[in-house]
Structures are given as C-alpha cells and as structure tokens.
C-alpha cells in the first residue's frame, strides 16, 4: 500500500496538506477517519454505560467494548482478553503496577529502571521506592544511549525485585534487545515491566513471547484516541497487583464492613471506563492490521536513514545508534538552542518536537539539556523528509547569519 494512499485516510493531515509536514508522531499520531467515525458512531448510535444496564443499548455497548478488548488482546498476543486491563494511558498503566506492588516491596529491595526511560517509567518507581524504602538504580547506558549489557548483568547480581525497561526509546528510537534483557532478569527472579508506548505502532509485539510480567502502551501513539492505554502481561503477575483505584465495577460484593474485589480484568478497572476510546482503539488496531506492516516498517526506517544522512550533511549532530532506529531520531545543531530550530521549522510548517522529551536523565547522559526530535509514522512519505531537510537547511542558514 503506497504511503500517499495511507495519508489520504487521515483527515487532519489532508486538511493541512500539502503545507504541513507532520513529523511529531512519537508525541501523538494522527487519527485515521475510521477511528474518528467509530468513536462518533458509538456516541451517535449505541451510547450507554457498560456492564450495568439490563437494557438493549447497554448490552450493545458492552459487547462492542468487550469485542474491542479481545481485538486488542489479539493484536499484542496477550494471554487472554481478561489479562488486558483498560487504563487511561501508559502513565496510568505504569502507576497501576507501581502502586499495585507496594505491599510486595520492603526496605532495601532493589528496582532497576532503564537509563533511557521516559519520566512516566521513572517517577512512579521513585514514588514506590519512597513508600516502601526500596532503592532505585538506573541501568547504565553506553555513550550512544543503548543499554550497557555487562553493567546490566552486574546490577542483576544484586537481586532486583523489579526491572523496568523501554521497548523503544521515545528519544533515540532504540529498540532494546528484550529477548536478552528479560530472560536475564528472570534468572534472578525479578518482575519485568516493558514500556511499549513507542513500540506498538512500529514493531509487531507478542507479549507472550516476550515473557515479561507487565507490558504497557497508549492508544494515542498508535493511531487511536487519547484517554486510553493498556496494561497487560501474565495473569498471575496482574493478579498480584493491589488495585490502585477502588470503587464501582471492580467489586464482587460491598458491605460497610468489608468489600470483596472482582477478578481480572474488572479488579483493576474501577469506575466507568473510556468506552468510546476503547472502541476507537480497536479500530486503530484494524487500521494497523490493514497495512503491510513489514513494508511500513521498512519505509519508516528508510525515511529515518534519509533524515539522518541529510542532517549530517548539513552539519547537524544526530544522536544514537544508526543501526537501531525505530520511529524517532534526535538531533541538535551544536551551539544553537534546539527550541530555535523547532521554531524556525514551525515557521516553515514542519512540525517536530524540541525539549527534553520527558527523559531528562537520558538527555543528561547524552550531554545536553534538550534536542530536536523528528518522528515518523505510516502516513509519512520520503517527500516529507525532503521538505524537513530543506527547512533545516534554511534554519541553519538563518541561525548562522
């Protein structure tokens, strides 16, 4: 399927076409018409709360919602639909795990966190450490931002209780070698969480083959709506989590003296869930499954290679491992502020992101306060990269005047 045809399915891109070049999909992807229509159709034709009413509309809404859960489970090869917990985003999903494990950690227990992690995969563990007296250590990185394997193996000898890893870095686009990192963590008995927020749109994911205890991602970074994210993993590991939120939907019985909680997935889904968003996310799954994923991944990588070469030719510094780049790449014009480049690109209608990308420790490791980040998705074309490189050449000229 050619990319211009893919782009034509995205109303916001078409509305601003051909002027706008959208290279900020790692922040959030645009949404295909099918997703927008599914969300609207739910509100127009079958809006009702789920799991509650005895009436036809509620039954219809419930079956659409549960069908969507099953589609999402199949998409990431989860153990079962019941092991797919609907959350509000990756941040909420990681907090659900970090809070849920509070009773399992004791003073002195060790938590290891990927040195390239997003703040959403750092701060909840810090808070968990504070609550329990556990200790948090970053997994050291090589100069280019990849995990330092010998240093990781050495840290594992200290017997961590939990290891939390990126699947794909939101700054460098590096995919971690999870087939190596997870089995190593398991040999020392650690629980493992994988942050898949930047992976699911770009790589096929099998949660069962990864063998991690917890896998999390957001709908809005994979062509779906905002306000929905997923926590999945091993049933037994999910069952270990104490619910972070309590209330309706997550209980079996309630008495003033004592309440009994429901089983998975309801136990971890207190309150009315984001019903329309879940239905939209299932449409986003269908959209991704309608693509030739291998061809899209190759095209995304070839666009990133083209961008890297163009940037380097202009004298920009590009971070990371060129051989391991998925979805995003980070760069700077040394001596110039990243924000100035972003503004000059915006003036030319090229949308990228500038800043620390919610990854301050990684930025510090790379020796910078911030960077520009260009990120691609299925709807981008090589022409978008040409336009970005032209704009970057103009930005450089303007800054050196």
CA distances in angstroms from 98 to 117, 123, 127, listed in the order given: 15, 10, 8
CB of 84 to ligand PMP, least distance (A): 17
Q: How many residues bind ligand PMP (CB under 6 A)?
A: 14
Tell me if residue 87 is catalytic.
no
CB of 184 to ligand PMP, least distance (A): 21
Nearer to ligand PMP, 3 or 24 (CB): 24
Q: Counting contacts by CB under 6 A, is residue 173 touching ligand PMP?
A: no
Question: Judged by CB under 6 A, which of 9, 46, 83, 90 binds ligand PMP?
Answer: 90
Identify any residues that bridge with 24 across adjacent strands, giving them in sequence order: 375
Q: Counting contacts by CB under 6 A, is residue 95 touching ligand PMP?
A: no
CB of 26 to ligand PMP, least distance (A): 6
Residues 186-205 that bind ligand PMP (CB under 6 A): 195, 197-198
Nearer to ligand PMP, 279 or 362 (CB): 362
Q: Counting contacts by CB under 6 A, is residue 120 touching ligand PMP?
A: yes
Q: Counting contacts by CB under 6 A, is residue 277 touching ligand PMP?
A: no
Q: Counting contacts by CB under 6 A, is residue 87 touching ligand PMP?
A: no
Nearer to ligand PMP, 93 or 333 (CB): 93
Question: Judged by CB under 6 A, which of 99, 118, 283, 387 binds ligand PMP?
Answer: 118
Q: What is the SS3 string spanning the chain? A: CCHHHHHCCCHHHHHCCCCCEECECCCCCCCCHHHHHHHHHHHHHCCCCCCCCCCHHHHHHHHHHHHHHHHHHHHCCCCCHHHCEEECCHHHHHHHHHHHCHHHCCCCCEEEEECCCCHHHCHHHHHHHHHHCCEEEEECECCCCCECHHHHHHHHCCCCCEEEEECECCCCCCECCHHHHHHHHHHCCCEEEEECCCCCCCCCCCHHHHCCCEEEEEHHHCCCCCCCEEEEECHHHHHCCCCCCCCCCCEEEECCCCEEECCCCHHHCCCCCCHHHHHHHHHHHHHHHHCCHHHHHHHHHHHHHHHHHHHHHHCCEECCCCCCCCCEEEEECCCCCHHHHHHHHHHCCEECEEECCCCHHHHHHCCCCCEEEEECCCCCCHHHHHHHHHHHHHHHHHHHC
Residues 299-358 that bind ligand PMP (CB under 6 A): 358
Nearer to ligand PMP, 109 or 223 (CB): 223
Q: Counting contacts by CB under 6 A, is residue 86 touching ligand PMP?
A: no
Nearer to ligand PMP, 202 or 387 (CB): 202
Stretch that binds ligand PMP, among 103-111, 118-126, 185-193, 381-389 (CB under 6 A): 118-126
Nearer to ligand PMP, 229 or 243 (CB): 229
Identify any residues that bridge with 233 across adjacent strands, giving them in sequence order: 214
Catalytic residue among 325, 354, 358, 372: 358
Cα-to-chain-centroid distance, residue 318: 22
CB of 358 to ligand PMP, least distance (A): 6
Q: Counting contacts by CB under 6 A, is residue 222 touching ligand PMP?
A: no
Q: Counting contacts by CB under 6 A, is residue 269 touching ligand PMP?
A: no
CB of 90 to ligand PMP, least distance (A): 4
Stretch that binds ligand PMP, among 31-39, 85-93, 141-149, 392-400 (CB under 6 A): 85-93
Q: How many CB atoms lie within 10 A of CB 40?
A: 12
Stretch that binds ligand PMP, among 29-37, 96-104, 116-124, 386-394 (CB under 6 A): 116-124
Q: Note the residues at the interface with ligand PMP (CB under 6 A).
A: 89-91, 118, 120-121, 166, 170, 195, 197-198, 218, 229, 358
Active-site annotation, residues: 358
């Amino acid at each position: 399927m050619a990319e211009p045809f893919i782009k034509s399915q995205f109303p916001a891109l078409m509305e601003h076409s051909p002027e706008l070049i959208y290279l900020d999909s790692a922040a959030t992807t645009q949404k295909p018409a099918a997703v927008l229509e599914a969300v609207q159709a739910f509100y127009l034709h079958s809006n009702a709360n789920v799991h509650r009413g005895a009436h036809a509309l509620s039954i219809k809404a419930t079956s659409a919602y549960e069908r969507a859960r099953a589609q999402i489970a199949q998409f990431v090869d989860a153990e079962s639909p019941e092991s797919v917990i609907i959350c509000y985003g990756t941040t909420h999903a990681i907090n659900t795990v970090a809070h849920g494990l509070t009773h399992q950690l004791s003073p002195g227990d060790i938590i290891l966190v990927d040195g390239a992690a997003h703040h959403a995969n750092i701060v909840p563990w810090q808070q968990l450490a504070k609550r329990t007296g556990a200790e948090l250590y970053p997994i050291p990185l090589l100069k280019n931002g990849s995990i330092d394997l010998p240093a990781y193996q050495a840290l594992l000898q200290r017997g961590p209780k939990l290891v939390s890893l990126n699947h794909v870095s939101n700054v460098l686009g590096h995919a971690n070698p999870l087939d190596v990192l997870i089995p190593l963590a398991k040999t020392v008995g650690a629980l493992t969480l994988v942050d898949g927020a930047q992976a699911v749109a770009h790589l096929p994911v099998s949660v069962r083959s990864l063998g991690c205890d917890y896998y999390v991602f957001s709908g809005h970074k994979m062509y779906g709506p905002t306000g929905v994210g997923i926590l999945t993993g091993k049933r037994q590991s999910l069952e270990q989590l104490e619910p972070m939120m309590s209330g309706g939907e997550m209980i079996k019985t309630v008495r003033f003296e004592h309440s009994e909680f429901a089983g998975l997935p309801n136990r971890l889904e207190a309150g009315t869930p984001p019903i329309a968003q879940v239905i939209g996310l299932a449409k986003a799954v269908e959209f991704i499954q309608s693509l030739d994923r291998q061809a899209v991944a190759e095209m995304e990588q070839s666009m990133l290679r083209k961008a890297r070469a163009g940037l380097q030719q202009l004298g920009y510094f590009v971070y990371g491992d060129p051989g391991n780049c998925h979805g995003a790449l980070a760069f700077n014009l040394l001596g110039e502020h990243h924000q100035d480049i972003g503004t000059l690109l915006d003036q030319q209608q090229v949308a990228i992101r500038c800043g620390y990308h919610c990854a301050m420790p990684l930025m510090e490791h790379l020796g910078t306060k911030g960077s520009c980040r260009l990120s691609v998705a299925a709807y981008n074309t090589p022409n978008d990269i040409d336009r970005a490189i032209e704009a970057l050449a103009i930005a450089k000229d303007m800054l050196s005047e």
